[in-house]
Amino acid sequence: MSPLQEQLLDRAGLRVRTARPELAEDFDLGTLAGLLDAQRSVAAATGETLVVAVIRHLELAEWTRATCEFAFGIDPADGARWRRSFTRTLFLAGNPANLGERFRFAHVTPGATAAWTAPAPGPSVGTLRRLLKLFDAPAALPARPDTLIKLPGAPTGRHRDLYLATEGCTLAEALVHLNHVLVEAVLDGLLAPGDRLTLRQVPRLLGLTAPFAALRVVTDPHHPDRLKAAAGLTEEASPRTSGARSDRGTAGSG
């Protein structure tokens, strides 16, 4: 295994140990096979806590801000249970404005472009899941400039970069990757109201030269025996380097 693959495996194993430390006793998280077995065991479990997100219209920067705003308002006990379920989230296509009388949402964006249920056991949202279809966005991510996102709340002066690897990534997959990074960062105390993010879409995250505080690691669909970094949140930037920048070299975008 290459040094890069070892780094990715270590980061993926750390995520498992953080959410479910007992899994480290049952599975060898130092191997890819053990890591995948641990992830499959959680995915197959019944009664796990999940969130349903209903999406009518999607713009990534706006959705990033709204996702954090939703996560800021989660009850700590609910958040802890959701964290143990690896912040499982189901994305459905629909119009929240037409569902408000039948379903209770924890957060709805202005204009009802998206809405989130509170973390709850999977069976409790069965009716909503049967009513709506999965959010299917198979298109590749379009190129876009770096985007500064101000999270709701009084400005803190803190800033981080949010990287998304776009090569071979669909819009639907981007939602999954960013969602896990963002909500887990909020639940773990890395992001707070009033912080700022710069969303940077790059082809790939190579070399891990950026100081990442959180990293989304997944299996490479073209090489099942390899891992890849799909998205990442950097350590807090100094005031001198914060804000949107055009230089993308820090994440190995070549």
pLDDT digit string, tens, across residues 96-119: 999 988 999 999 999 999 999 999
**What is the rounded average pLDDT of the residues 21-27?**
89
The edge-to-edge listing of strands for the beta sheet with 159-165 is 147-150, 196-202, 159-165, 223-234, 212-220
Picking from 22, 16, 93, the residue whose alpha carbon sits closest to that of residue 58 is 93
CA distance to 4, 9, 189, 207, 246, per residue, from 250 (Å): 16, 21, 24, 9, 11
**Distance in angstroms (rounded) separating the CA atoms of residues 179 and 8:** 19
Reduced to 3 states, what is the DSSP secondary structure of residue 125? helix
Strand, coil or helix: 201: strand
- Band (207; pLDDT cuts 50, 70, 90): low
**93: helix, strand or coil:** strand
Mean pLDDT, residues 202-216? 84
Calculate what percentage of the chain has a pLDDT beyond 70: 92
pLDDT range class, residue 46, cuts 50, 70, 90: low
- Average pLDDT value over all residues in the chain: 89
Higher pLDDT pick, 209 / 195: 195
Note the pLDDT of residue 241. Answer: 43
Selection from 220, 147, 216, 222 nearest residue 183 by Cα: 216
Quick check: helix, strand or coil at residue 147? strand
Q: Is residue 143 scored above 80 in pLDDT?
A: no
Those residues whose C-beta lies under 8 Å from the C-beta of residue 243, and which sit 6 or more positions away, are 148, 159, 196, 198
Chain Cα centroid distance, residue 76:
18
25: pLDDT strictly greater than 60 = yes
